[in-house]
Structure 1
Amino acid sequence: MKAFLPIVVALPLSALLLAAAPAPKYAVADIPVALREGAHAVVRADDEVVTVKSASRLVHTVHRVVTVLDNTGDDLARIGVSYDALRSLSYLRGAVYDAEGRLLHQLRASEIKDEGVGSDGSSFMTDVRVRYADLRQPQGPYTVEFEYEIVSDNTLFYPDFQPQEEEGVAVQAASLRVITPASLPLRYQERQLPAGAAVAHITAGNQEVYEWKLTNLAAVDDEEAAPPLTDRTPAVVLAPGSFQVQGHAGTAATWQGLGQWTYDLNAGRDQLPPATVAKVQALVKDLPDARARARRVYELLQGSTRYISVQLGLGGWQTFPASTVASSGYGDCKALSNYTRALLAAAGVPAYQALVGAGSGEADLRADFPSSQFNHVVLCAPLVTAGRPDTLWLECTSQTDAFGYMGSFTGNRHALLLTPEGGKLIATPRYGAAENRRVRRLDLFLDASGSATATARTLRTGQEQDLYAALLHELGPPDQKKYVVDRLKLPTFTLTRFSLVATPAGPLPGVVENLALTLPGFAPPSGKRVFINPNLLSRLPALPAQVGERQAEVWLPSATLHADTVRLHLPAGFHPETLPAPVQLSTAYGTYATQYATLPDGTIQYIRRLELKRAKLPKTAYPGYLDFRRKINSADKAQVVLVKAGS
């Protein structure tokens, strides 16, 4: 009998590979159309689990999937996860898929970069490292998937949950699950959550489990005059009640307790060498006034120390001893403020360190949720002058900041004062329109052909001078000049003279800018008339009209006062035919006024005053703000009409 042989069918290699490939997932077609509208990327999943193991350890796992729709969303295809001596990274995995959800590539270990923070020289003493992965593709849409786990022995900080961290990013699904021992109850604050997204809380044995779920969050537009995104998208902020860092136990349930932990951690580290104490006492012996003694100590600090960053384990919160700074001449914000406090004590001026959330344009901390919301340390001396409180604040990391000035970096917010009795939440200096001033005098000299020259002197004080103080102290004159030239919105000009000069020491720092310009063809005659806009340097642009319904509140973060006086010097034989009518605006957003006059010598004087308020207003106020800016822009373009005698 003849045996039957098996039949072998040769399949193409592509078919064999297809059979072995995993099933597609995360296809772009599965994203609801409404979520793609106005979005550059869609978070398909952001599933996070926080497991509190003890008062000194927690584990944070993250699984995040993002579909990048266009090149604007490409940054979301990269990830950087930091770790240090107190936070270990267990794993980092990743994959990328095409538009149909087919696997294109799995992240290999060799593709993950591991770099130390501060390798560019910006930090000097740190154990922080970052693992980076980059799965960007040449063209969208595509989907990236990342997974990682952090084991943290620093329970002062719990992870926050805010899946929508950028404008133009929608969220299809996200979840947060927190598991904690019943003996360590979770503290949390829900912010901007949509209806139905409140916490689900159960007790399972001796564990408490909390869970939040978010679905179908449309992309948030980038809107003018909007609060920071952290105040606009759904978030859950977590914090411990009790915590422990390298054997140092504390509580964050109250500001008093959090401040007490920080104060105790640094207690006894303010002892100076006897020679340093003697030096300070000799330096201030002729000054009976406490503020004058503090000023001299601050000058000593600025002339003998420099700032470095220290992020070594507990060193993120525990300072170098003052004696170390005295001998080395350097330290971070904690060490330099602690050192300055010791110097002031030697000068007979009591002071306290204060924790602050620093950053220009940053929103104030949430005073109703005690937690570590800080990234900087400054010094506060509660002085009394002539029987009245005269609190002094000192930024101890800068060699150039003015004595007693906080500015946009740490002003207009709250700080946590560290006292022997614990933490006390207090306000840092407030800077309003009276302090944040820009006062300009400009003289414009027109010739008969329509060309002109101009000189301008601009005094900036308070927060208005912050940027220019940085230019003055950090850049040389050529780079200062280039910065100014690049921002002069004039059609044709030559900057013939330029300087920046700090004003003499006073209650507020100031910077004076002097300019001289040549302006060929500035106002060529048009028939028998010449049309001139005297507002050469202070025009405020109008804002684009709101597209669609406004989503955000109107947030005006700083109050300022701009005062301009322009004198227009006319060539012989010319006189004004028409001067613009005065303008007067008074609104919830600020005030604006202009006036024109012909002076006895024939010079035309233009005076402009704009005061902007610091405010947070409902989104319904935005049309009014648009109208205010439009009217200012229109008035700023007003023209003086000149005619020549006998024309």
Structure 2
Amino acid sequence: MSRFYASLAALLLAGGSAVAGGSTPSYPVAALPAALRENAHAVIRNQEQTLVVKSASRSVETVRRAVTILDEAGAEWATLTVYYDQLNSVSYLRGTVYNAAGQAYLQLRPANVRDYGLSDGFSLASDGRGRIADLRQPTYPYTVEYEYEVVSNNLLFYPAWHPQPEEQLAVEKASFRVLTPTELPLRFQEQHLPAGVTAQHTLQGTTDVYQWQLQNLAALEEEPDAPPMHLLTPAVLTAPSNFEVQGHRGAATSWQTLGQWSYELNAGRDELPAAVKTKIAALVQGEPDERARIRKVYEFLQANTRYISIQLGIGGWQTFPAATVAATGYGDCKALTNYCKALLQAADVTAYCALVRADAPDIRTEFPSTQFNHVVLCVPLTKAAKADTVWLECTSQTNAFNYMGSFTGNRHALLITPAGGKLVRTPRYGMAENRQERRADVYLDAQGNATATIRTLRTGLEQEYANALLHNLSAVEQKNKIADRLPLSGFTITKFNLASGVATPIPTMVETLGLTVPNLAPPSGKRVFLTPNLLSRSSSLPAAVGERQADIWLDNAFVHSDTIRIHVPAGLKPESLPAPVKLTTAFGTYTSQVQTLPDGTLQYVRQLRMPQTRFARTEYAAYVEFRRKISAADKSQLVFVKTES
């Protein structure tokens, strides 16, 4: 599996030495076209990326990148981290700073490049490291040029070319070259390349040469509810046809062959000690239900293991033996998943490891390649009355049984079977699963102050934030985090409780609050005004500036329901109630209304239903109008008038 590099705590300033002037200017800022400065914090003046495949087990990648930093917001482009490990070595790393006129005046010296272990805080062993250079300057604009080379003995991964990976970054010129022996054909996929830009393929003896070049890409700005920027900008993805990692040969020409390599790499590493087999047999003895046996084994795993990342050479993809996990009680995602698979086997249940890209957009299913960073367990129910599948996240001591959530749900995974790899879908979570149901009682006094009791039930993806608070923070910290998210001012929390809800197929969380809210309904002369939508107000969206560029991705399906009962004191009576609102669109549906109950209590009921949908960019104006109407309805007010005493 690919290594997980956690964000570094801080970048370190690298010292330098002065460079004599007088040479021909390089990258003068005055030469930048005005169109490339517009909306840009930095401009890539030139980037040359070259991959030379020497064999199925060795490659050399060189990168030369010059970036003009226009202002402080673009300063990150003056820094660079080059990653390496046991299978990848850095041959050299050089850097030069040029002033606005294009004169070199500072060079990065090797002694000033800091070398760091990329520990993520929960790794027992990792050979991942980074060489970190930082040539940020106090005066803008300036240009930083870096050059480096990485020699790799791990050809499971080929580099991708993303010449414009972020917003507000323009590109003057960029190129990408791949040289590979004809017996190791390059596999590639082009994405969003400008018109006329495509692979230029030539043959130099027994070497295939591919080259892409582009220039003058204006800076882009992220748009609301758009796909991630890296899915919208030019890119070339590359992958091997055949590869070798520390003597283990494989092919990436299909999902089947890629999965076959992983299966063979880990074959025979699921043997358990006899004592553990006996313990599992006793655990499930007398339990005829297959799902119940799986649950018992999963709970045994959670109670007796913990996650620790281990990334050393081929160990990034080859699991620790199950017997090792049984002895130590820890392992990484591969080891814990393999261990759970072995435990289930001892319980007479067949399961399969599945590679998945966690906490990121789904893989490119049409381009077989190593796009994964995590392993989960897939358990087809073969003996149940109804065909079904159980999915297990084996690295968490608190994850709900058969729940993948936002981390690994709603995407594709590569099932690793004796016959090779097979793409399957992980569980999908839509409106039926992702719910927030809130009920509140608000008690007003004649001065417009209020107390409130609120109970919020959250399920599926909607409960994940609260679930994380419950399992990672103290009660005081939980309360503070919840308070930060309340759209009220001047309130005091008088009661707070956060707890897991009743066990269901989808995890639930229940939040209970008591509040005092001074001046919730501010008086104005004889009238008192109250916004009945206490906690679920939606914001509107900005209209597109110019023509919308990206399609609309609404990937978070949910249902939000609110029922707010407003208890009105003597001396106030309703004068004006908001009109009912009902919106039915392809984007979603919205309803809200206020009714007077027989006892005089006012009841506000609101529901917003948003499916997982995608729309063409031409629909953005209609989507903005839908959101505007929701925002307006959420702000509507009740008007009370003071009666004579």
Deviations 1:223-249 (A, max 9, x none): 111101121000000000111101111
Tell me whether 1:98 sits opposite 2:99 in the alignment.
yes
Q: Distance in 1 between matches of 2:29 and 2:309?
A: 44
Tell me whether 1:483 sits opposite 2:481 in the alignment.
yes
Deviations 1:287-319 (A, max 9, x none): 111110010111111111110111100000000
Q: Distance in 2 between matches of 1:20 and 1:482?
A: 57
Once the two structures are overlaid, the 10-residue window that deviates more, 95-104 or 290-299, is 95-104
Deviations 1:383-418 (A, max 9, x none): 146532210000000000000000000000000000
| 2:3 aligned residue | none
Tell me whether 1:474 sits opposite 2:475 in the alignment.
no
Tell me whether 1:415 sits opposite 2:413 in the alignment.
yes
| 2:550 aligned residue | 552
SS at match of 2:337: helix
Percent identical pairs in the alignment equals 59
How far did residue 374 of structure 1 move?
0.2
| 1:181 aligned residue | 181
Q: Distance in 1 between matches of 2:118 and 2:24?
A: 39
Equivalent of residue 388 in structure 1, options 386, 394, 403: 386
Deviations 1:70-126 (A, max 9, x none): 1100111111011011001111111111111111210011211101110x6232210
| 1:329 aligned residue | 329
Q: Distance in 1 between matches of 2:23 and 2:130?
A: 31
- Over 3 Å counting, the alpha-carbon distance change for 1:169 and 1:523 in structure 2 is same
Equivalent of residue 565 in structure 1, options 563, 566, 576: 563
| 2:573 aligned residue | 575
Contact 1:575–1:602 under 8 Å retained in 2 = no
Contact 1:225–1:555 under 8 Å retained in 2 = yes
Q: Matched residue pairs, number?
A: 628
SS at match of 1:367: coil
Contact 1:558–1:614 under 8 Å retained in 2 = yes
Q: Distance in 1 between matches of 2:425 and 2:399?
A: 20
| 1:536 aligned residue | 534
| 1:232 aligned residue | 232
Once the two structures are overlaid, the 10-residue window that deviates more, 479-488 or 346-355, is 479-488
Q: Distance in 2 between matches of 1:100 and 1:324?
A: 61
| 1:611 aligned residue | 609
| 1:8 aligned residue | none
Q: Show the 5 A alignment for 1:19-418.
A: 21-118=22-119, 121-359=121-359, 362-384=360-382, 386-418=384-416
Contact 2:460–2:507 under 8 Å retained in 1 = yes
Deviations 1:324-376 (A, max 9, x none): 000000000000000000000111111000000000xx321111000001000
Q: Distance in 2 between matches of 1:495 and 1:99?
A: 55
How far did residue 504 of structure 1 move?
2.7
SS at match of 1:124: strand
Contact 2:41–2:69 under 8 Å retained in 1 = yes
Q: Distance in 2 between matches of 1:417 and 1:305?
A: 24
How far did residue 530 of structure 1 move?
1.3
SS at match of 1:223: coil
CA RMSD of aligned residues (A): 1.3
| 2:14 aligned residue | none
Contact 1:290–1:348 under 8 Å retained in 2 = no
Contact 1:402–1:505 under 8 Å retained in 2 = no
Tell me whether 1:598 sits opposite 2:599 in the alignment.
no
SS at match of 1:79: strand
Q: TM-score, normalised by structure 1?
A: 0.95
- Over 3 Å counting, the alpha-carbon distance change for 1:386 and 1:282 in structure 2 is closer
Contact 2:19–2:105 under 8 Å retained in 1 = no
Q: Which residue identity does 2:289 align to in structure 1?
A: D
SS at match of 2:523: coil
Contact 2:356–2:373 under 8 Å retained in 1 = yes
- Over 3 Å counting, the alpha-carbon distance change for 1:19 and 1:482 in structure 2 is closer
Q: Distance in 1 between matches of 2:490 and 2:19?
A: 64
How far did residue 589 of structure 1 move?
1.2
Gaps of 5+ in 1: 1-16
Once the two structures are overlaid, the 10-residue window that deviates more, 263-272 or 223-232, is 223-232
Q: Distance in 2 between matches of 1:431 and 1:473?
A: 22
Q: Distance in 1 between matches of 2:644 and 2:519?
A: 23
Deviations 1:521-575 (A, max 9, x none): 1113222221111111100111222222212111112101101000001002322
Contact 2:289–2:384 under 8 Å retained in 1 = no
SS at match of 1:388: coil
Q: Which residue identity does 1:596 align to in structure 2?
A: V
Q: Distance in 2 between matches of 1:194 and 1:38?
A: 20
How far did residue 31 of structure 1 move?
1.1
Q: Distance in 2 between matches of 1:380 and 1:270?
A: 15
Q: Which residue identity does 1:290 align to in structure 2?
A: E
Contact 1:277–1:346 under 8 Å retained in 2 = yes
SS at match of 2:641: strand
Contact 1:50–1:61 under 8 Å retained in 2 = yes
How far did residue 18 of structure 1 move?
9.8
Equivalent of residue 502 in structure 2, options 501, 504, 509: 504
Contact 2:452–2:515 under 8 Å retained in 1 = yes
- Over 3 Å counting, the alpha-carbon distance change for 1:19 and 1:69 in structure 2 is closer
How far did residue 257 of structure 1 move?
0.3
Q: Distance in 2 between matches of 1:194 and 1:18?
A: 38
How far did residue 19 of structure 1 move?
7.7
Q: Distance in 1 between matches of 2:424 and 2:265?
A: 21
Contact 1:161–1:236 under 8 Å retained in 2 = yes
Q: Which residue identity does 2:143 align to in structure 1?
A: T
How far did residue 646 of structure 1 move?
4.2
Q: Which residue identity does 2:170 align to in structure 1?
A: A
Deviations 1:609-628 (A, max 9, x none): 00112122111111111111
Q: Which residue identity does 1:580 align to in structure 2?
A: P
Q: Which residue identity does 1:232 align to in structure 2?
A: L
